[in-house]
Amino acid sequence: MIVTVTLNPSVDEEYLLDEIVLGSWSRANSTLRMPGGRGINVALMLTQLGYSAVAMGFLAGFNGEYIRDALRRANVTTNFVHIQGETRTNVYLSLKNPDEGTSIYEKGPLVDDEARKRFLMNYKRMINRASAVVIGGSLPAGMPKETYKELSLMAKEAGLPVYIDAYGSPFLMALETQPRMAKVPDTQIEHLAGRPVDSLEAYVEAAHKVHEMGIPWSVVSYQVYGDVFATSHGTYLAKMTRDKTQAFLFTARDALVTGMVIADAEGMDTEDSIRFAMACAIESSTHVDRNVKGRASIESYLDKVTLEKLD
């Protein structure tokens, strides 16, 4: 069983529109409503690919009930601490012209000390039964900056690989615990490279910096359809060849993390791991549903991944 942690989940509402008319109204052509949050997305995809996953974190109010029900229907085990307030809704307005799409994020409810302690207790219990831990997304108000570091440390002490996709100082502090994989956030690349990110070299430098901290898989997004992987067997630039003009990229990075977790679980070698993770990301970007459509569908994209060894 794979533990996924989403401390600040959301109900994601995606409205597909022809256009937004400021000062007036628009009719949505269609709407998708689904549980959201990085760890939750990974838990859903792992389950779709035959792995058992548990989603942990905090849920509140009516939106919280919606998320719990939707995850259970999708056969994801849920282990959330229920708190006061209301789990946030994130609104995604997807326009015909994808460059004009926009999203509105809520802050989410406050986590108090008691809820935090209950979560840590549950987490401690779950990692004794788990084979890996995925930590994703933002920290809700009330959770200390050290939280991801603490969670990663607990998992490592239990002998589990940790996969982290987060932001800011909570992410950087977690790196000190040497997780198995870190997806470096775009906002951190410049800081890590120590220079403007105007060339592939700067991205590679950022990936190297993280890898050299003792993190086996350091992944940095490069432009929209590429990723730099700094690994113990060399540095790779992986790119996806795109068939279609419209790509749905919301959960591509969650699919990539999902792919890495599975590649490790199945003992794939470095290049096969990268190819599989990238194929997960491509597959997830080919349809508007925020998930993957099964192993066969992912494997059909393996030959759309180009791999270039940089060192």
Count how many residues are written for the chain.
311
- Of 229, 244, 236, which is closest to residue 304 (Cα–Cα)? 244
Pairwise CA distance, residues 236 & 3, whole Å: 28
- Distance between CA atoms of residues 53 and 132, nearest Å: 10
Nearest approach in angstroms of CB 94 to a copy of itself is: 11
Question: Of 62 and 198, which CB lies nearer to a copy of itself in the complex structure?
Answer: 62
Closer to a copy of itself by Cβ: residue 22 or 296: 22
Smallest separation, CB 107 to a copy of itself (Å): 7
Q: Which SS3 state, helix, strand or coil, does residue 247 take?
A: coil
Question: Reading across the β-sheet that carries 2-6, which strands appear in turn?
Answer: 77-83, 53-60, 2-6, 132-136, 162-165, 181-184, 217-222, 226-231, 234-240, 305-309
Q: Kindly tell me which of 166 and 260 has the beta carbon lying closer to a copy of itself.
A: 166
To the nearest whole angstrom, how small is the minimum distance from the Cβ of residue 32 to a copy of itself?
A: 11
The minimum distance between CB 250 and a copy of itself, in angstroms, equals 12
- Minimum CB separation of residue 2 from a copy of itself in Å reads 27
Which residues are within 8 A (CB) of 196 and not within 5 positions of it... i.e. 6 or more apart?
190, 202
Residue 119, judged by CB atoms within 10 A of its CB (0-12, 13-18, 19+), counts as buried
Phi, psi angle pair for 35, to nearest 5°: -65, 145
Kindly list the residues in this chain that would bind a copy of itself in the complex (CB under 8 A): 13, 15, 17, 20-28, 31, 33, 62, 65-66, 69, 86, 88-89, 91, 93, 95, 99-107
- Closest CB 10 distance from a copy of itself, rounded Å: 12
Pick the closer one to a copy of itself by CB: 21 or 296: 21
Q: Which distant-in-sequence residues (6+ apart) come within 8 Å of 199 by Cβ?
A: none
User: Min. distance of Cβ 186 from a copy of itself in angstroms?
Assistant: 13
Nearer to a copy of itself, 60 or 204 (CB): 60
Nearer to a copy of itself, 16 or 302 (CB): 16
Spell out the residues 6+ positions from residue 301 whose beta carbon is closer than 8 angstroms to its own: 240, 279, 282, 283, 286
Ramachandran angles phi, psi of 3, nearest 5°: -85, 130
Q: Phi/psi of residue 239, each to 5°? A: -130, 155
Q: Which is nearer to a copy of itself, 94 or 291 (CB)?
A: 94
Q: Are strands 162-165 and 132-136 parallel, antiparallel or unpaired?
A: parallel
CB of 57 to a copy of itself, least distance (A): 19
Minimum CB distance to a copy of itself smaller for 40 or for 162: 40
